[in-house]
Amino acid sequence: MLLTPELITRLTPLEIKARQIVEGFISGLHKSPFFGFSVEFAEHRPYNAGDDLKHLDWKVYGKTERFFVKQYEEETNLRCYILLDVSSSMQFRYFADWSKLRYAVHLGAALAYMLHRQRDGCGLVPFDRQIGEILPAKSSYPHLMHLYRNLDQILEDFDGEVPEIRKTASADAIHQLAERIGKRSLVILLTDLFENVGKQDELISALKHLRHRKHEVILFHLLEKKSERQLDFPDERFVFRDMETGGEMDVIPSQIRRDYQKKMAEYTKEFHIMCSEANISYEEVDTQDPFDYALLAFLNKRRRLL
């Protein structure tokens, strides 16, 4: 069954939504060439020469004809922090069913559920111009429920009739986080990179600060591609308003579309290259797409950390 945003919206609470997203994704993996990922996510890893044979899972071998070793908590334990952009630009949506913020909240909830299922610790750090309260990385079920309540509260805060304008300062927030988390962790950044078109070097420097502290980093760049990358609006006059400054621009999209698409492609390519050089995973996520691509990218990264 396809988990459409409309269907997920009807599911409550957030824990159930996250579980449905993850279990639907895992079910899809069983039917795809990526079956091996679902096996590994079920707390197994491929057998290596020298492993104790008593830990082989013969049931898995019977299904796959491949040797896998049962992984125990001390082998799989991981600390992860989800760094969530809650600035005003994340409220944007035009073609998508959800705003970038609502999409990011549900993606973050799904990632937290995956980590909890694996007995890994997950923390949450909302930010705009500065970081909010840091929810530490823990693996217990009560902690997961506390994290979901925080995510629900973030959505409630943005549902007011006159939302507070919140500007972004990703680089500053990341530098703050790098100084405050201690042990080696995986940091997942969910952001639209709104303010960073002219500040790539500052953001990369902040991400390198995390890498210098021995943390692994995945940057999920959330955007509504049809509007924000392709500028695929009807051929008529629009007034575009900056959601973080209030500035407005009168535009006929067809007159600037080609140049706009070129500049967006150049910006994204350059940013991707800089992330690659710093050993930072950069993933572009379209908020009109299912969560599967982002979840698969997370599993890829997590597998390399084992």
What are the chain's domains? 5-73 (no CATH), 76-305 (3.40.50.410)
Full-model pTM: 0.80
pLDDT at 161: 47
Q: Residue 190 and residue 222: Cα distance in Å, rounded?
A: 7
- The answer to whether 190 and 108 have CB atoms below 8 angstroms apart is yes
| Identity of residue 221 | H
State the alpha helices, DSSP H only, in the chain.
5-10, 14-30, 35-41, 58-64, 73-76, 100-117, 141-157, 170-180, 200-212, 253-277, 292-305
pLDDT at 10: 58
- Residues in the chain where the model's pLDDT stays below 50: 1, 33-42, 72-75, 161-162
pLDDT at 75: 46
pLDDT at 170: 79
